[in-house]
Amino acid sequence: MDIMTQDLAEARHVKREDYVSCTVAFIDCKKPGSHLKENYSIIGPGVTSSDDQVINLPEAHGFNIGAAAMPNGITNNLHIHFTAEVFIVQAGEWTFRWGSNGENEIKGTAGDIVSVPTWIFRGFTNTGPDDGWLFTILGGDNTGGVIFHPEIIREAADYGLYISSDNRLIDTSRGDAVPDESGRIPPMPDEDVAALREVGRDEMMSRIVAKNARDFKPGFIDSGLPGRGAELAPVIGHGITQNREHAAPITNPHGFSAEWLRLPAGGTVGPFTLDEKMVLMGHEGRMCIEYVDGGGATVEVNAWDTYSVPASRQIQITALDDVTVEALLVVTGDHRKRPAFKAEVIAEALDAGQGLDAGGFVAKASLLPTYGRAS
């Protein structure tokens, strides 16, 4: 494997100031009350219907990272996704709606995560006093497009907007020709809307991980070592934790896992390697990602930035400044991921009385048979 050069490492860093908004990403872009929303495609092939959307890092990851920014009172209207859709509230207060007519509501504030089931209508409004920001994760490289509520599709036609059968936004105001009915997506029939499954409030509440409900515990073999201290709080699926007491609150397949990483001021985790691609979404604080392969590449990632780590690259993560770092780790696949720590880290942990059992979880070294210890 080639050494990760500084240029290659920096090419995988999408800074907050690099995000490029699109105000004509979907068919509701001219609807009053929705016209001020901004959509972002950050990592992955993208989910927009607009040819104008800029994607910062279009490389396939098995999921898509995006964002929505909206001022107070602006709404993203009811729509259906075919793959998992997860909202991470970065800033503001949001009202999320679901149901055939958006009749159900929940609130979300900074640090909350909401995973919405597939094949139900969902929408959201910035109900906070200030501009708000949501990061999003959508499962799969090809998410299949979007089905908007039939009322939205009918109203959009009044503004000269249509969606072609290949999921492209048609805007007659810029000279686009209206496709034949066979070449555009029609409103969903009322009987099909009525047949969509109902998701009760209890089920939806089980798919929310609020900021104050995160279960942070030591996450790795090196967490107890001096200058370390990394903790993880699982959110979705089998992540990279080495703590056997961890259990994700949301367990249905998404095509990816998600868990919070928390590093104390100056704390470090690694070096370790993953077989899978991983995206770090900075939430609070500033961290340094160092590639430990001889190239000396390092990248400083701020809150609101996103960073993609390629598969099979050995990295070390360090919290910078005198503040705690929080970031969401998103890793491709529904399977359990197993970080492989550098041999020197494993040896230091063994000296401190900690080893890895045959399941890859941290355990008291003196209880492990010598032939079963990681070395």
Numbers of helices and strands, H then E, in the chain: 5, 28
How many domains is the chain built from? 2
- For residue 142, how far is the Cα from the chain centroid? 16
- From 208, 240, 268, give the residue that closes a domain: 208
Would you state the pLDDT for residue 355?
97
- Same-domain check for residues 139 and 284: no
- Same-domain check for residues 305 and 161: no
- Same-domain check for residues 22 and 128: yes
- Same-domain check for residues 293 and 231: yes
CATH of the domain at 337: 2.60.120.10
d(CA 273, CA 275): 7
The backbone region for 259, taken as left when phi is positive above 0, alpha when psi lies in -120 to 50, beta otherwise, is beta
Give a yes or no: residue 2 inside a domain: no
pTM of the model: 0.94
Q: What are the structure tokens assigned to 201, written together?
A: 């409030």
First-to-final CA distance of the chain: 23
Give a yes or no: residue 66 inside a domain: yes
Blockwise average pLDDT, block size 10, the chain, 375 residues? 92 97 75 85 84 90 96 93 97 97 96 98 95 96 91 86 82 82 87 96 97 97 97 98 98 98 97 98 98 91 98 97 96 98 97 96 93 53
- From 181, 208, 235, give the residue that closes a domain: 208
- Same-domain check for residues 231 and 256: yes
- Same-domain check for residues 184 and 275: no
Give the 3-state DSSP-derived string for 180-224, with helices as H, strands as E and coil as C. CHHHECCCCCHHHHHHCCCCCHHHHHCCEECHHHCCCEECCCCCC
- From 176, 208, 240, give the residue that closes a domain: 208
User: Structural domain of residue 271, as residue ranges?
Assistant: 214-372
Give a yes or no: residue 5 inside a domain: no
Alpha-helical segments (H) within the chain: 6-10, 150-158, 190-195, 201-205, 343-351
